[in-house]
């Protein structure tokens, strides 16, 4: 099969997500930004793309949601990856020698208690695996927070394993493709809509799902650019857009909201 793009350097959690979803033989293609992942699939230099949707501690990845609004791509799958952060350094470094630690701000935040106990200064970087790679490239006597897989790939030493403050740390990724996927009987649908400016309009919109016993699994609000204090609502619920009660709810919502877009229906990962 052709390539699956992901954001980050090799060894990133999103590359792990690609392997979990497509299997060990998948050909992966690193991208610098989430936007480049979207572009690579839109421009057909990749068949699918993997983008982070939400983390069970830190919440939604805003950039992904903002890009979903504009893209013509479909969400055609989801993957949940257990995040197990490790403190890495170049071989020969002891934990006592470390003064600073590099990683993505979210990874630094997730290991805040551990880092504070060691009195380490934190330096934000674009990427977990990227900060691991940087230690090797620059032969820096510093720490990086990344996955055990990143340590393997770059030949770094794992100084500590599982250093996150909360062990129930998962990231949910979306698999992006160019076509809709068929129902499996155990699906989820993601849509985005903007309500009209009348009191109770969000309540009314959610009522179209509730009254049809469609189970809402997530709601996320994002500001509408250019109109301060107004929001788009990204909603996930159980069922496939081809199911009769789902398609009925969507049709009603399309007429009662200011904007509605179906982001995709895809097999549930739970």
Interface contacts to a copy of itself, rule CB under 8 A: 54-59, 62-63, 105, 109, 124-126, 166, 168, 170, 172, 199-200, 202-204, 206-207, 209-210, 213-223, 225-229, 231, 270
Q: Which residues on neighbouring strands pair with residue 231, listed in sequence order?
A: 223
Shortest distance, position 179 Cβ to a copy of itself, whole Å: 27
Catalytic residue among 6, 38, 173, 234: 173
Whether 64 is catalytic is: no
Catalytic residue among 128, 171, 195, 257: 171
CA distances, 163 to each of 64, 85, 184 (Å): 26, 6, 38
Please name the helix (run of DSSP H) or strand (run of DSSP E) that holds residue 237, with its range, or none. strand 231-238
In sequence order, the 6+-apart residues with CB closer than 8 A to the CB of 241 are 180, 189, 247, 250, 262, 265
Shortest distance, position 155 Cβ to a copy of itself, whole Å: 26
State which residue, 25 or 227, has the beta carbon closest to a copy of itself.
Answer: 227
CA distances, 217 to each of 31, 209, 235, 261 (Å): 30, 11, 8, 18
State which residue, 15 or 220, has the beta carbon closest to a copy of itself.
Answer: 220
Shortest distance, position 94 Cβ to a copy of itself, whole Å: 27
Shortest distance, position 167 Cβ to a copy of itself, whole Å: 8
Burial class, 3, CB count within 10 angstroms (exposed 0-12 / middle 13-18 / buried 19+): middle
Whether 173 is catalytic is: yes
Tell me which residues are annotated as active site.
Answer: 171, 173
């Amino acid at each position: 099969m052709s390539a699956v793009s992901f954001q980050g350097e090799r060894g990133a959690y999103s590359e792990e997500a690609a392997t979990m979803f497509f299997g060990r033989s998948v050909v992966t293609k690193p991208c610098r930004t989430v936007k480049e992942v979207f572009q690579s699939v839109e421009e057909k230099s990749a068949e699918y793309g993997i983008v982070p949707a939400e983390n069970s501690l830190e919440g939604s990845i805003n950039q992904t949601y903002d890009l979903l609004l504009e893209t013509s791509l479909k969400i055609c799958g989801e993957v949940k990856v257990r995040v197990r952060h490790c403190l890495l350094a170049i071989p020969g470094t002891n934990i006592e020698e470390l003064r600073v630690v590099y990683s993505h701000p979210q990874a630094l935040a997730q290991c805040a208690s551990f880092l504070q106990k060691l009195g380490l200064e934190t330096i934000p970087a674009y990427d977990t695996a990227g900060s691991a790679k940087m230690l090797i490239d620059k032969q820096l006597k510093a720490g990086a927070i990344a996955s055990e897989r990143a340590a393997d790939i770059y030949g770094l030493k794992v100084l500590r394993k599982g250093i996150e403050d909360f062990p129930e740390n998962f990231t949910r990724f979306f698999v992006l493709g160019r076509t809709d996927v068929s129902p499996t009987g155990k699906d989820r649908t993601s849509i985005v809509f903007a309500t009209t400016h009348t009191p109770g309009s969000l309540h009314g919109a959610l009522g179209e799902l509730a009254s049809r016993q469609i189970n809402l699994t997530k709601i996320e609000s994002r500001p509408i650019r250019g109109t301060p204090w107004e929001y788009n609502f990204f909603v996930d619920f159980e069922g496939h857009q081809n199911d009769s009660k789902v398609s009925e709810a969507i049709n009603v919502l399309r007429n009662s909201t200011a904007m509605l877009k179906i982001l995709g229906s895809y097999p549930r990962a739970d």
